[in-house]
Structure 1
């Protein structure tokens, strides 16, 4: 059995944590605010804004995937991936990190 690919990791996060929901709680208001700064005739509809948020979340999952892959170095089984996620309380850590997530130049 092969490692989790980013799509499988995203499905795992969605099924087993609140990471995606918490990410969207941060991303969507930011993207909506940014959209309101656009000229009225050039504003995106809500479907496009949601697509932008989904794309950002996909990029986030790919970064997490890359970090897990670096830690496992060559260990390719899904069991090894899930074991690392569980042993390091990765789901809880990702959920917690969502509360500190910010977009744009807020800092």
Structure 2
């Protein structure tokens, strides 16, 4: 942050200029400490390296998540294809679906008569 930009922002955030704002003093203090921190070359370099490391870590995690999603979709696809290779699996799946619907309907009718 350049000194000119700091002065401009300080004038904007100064508590005397923002009388009705309850957070004015805290905002101004935050600006002041940030500027002092950024003026210190050593601290700024440490901060820059820390943010670079965090950004690289996030990119690495995003790549890993992408790989993991691809692996999961491949696995699901293989499972689906394995199910459809078994001719009885489709029938069992349909039977289970119909059985579940029948149980739900019986429970609904039972609940209707007990009320």
> TM over 0.5, yes or no?
no
The structure showing larger relative contact order (alpha-carbon pairs under 8 Å, at least 6 residues apart) is: 1
Higher relative helix content? 2
Rg bigger for which structure?
A: 2
- Tell me the TM-score normalised to structure 1 length: 0.30
TM-score by length of 2: 0.28
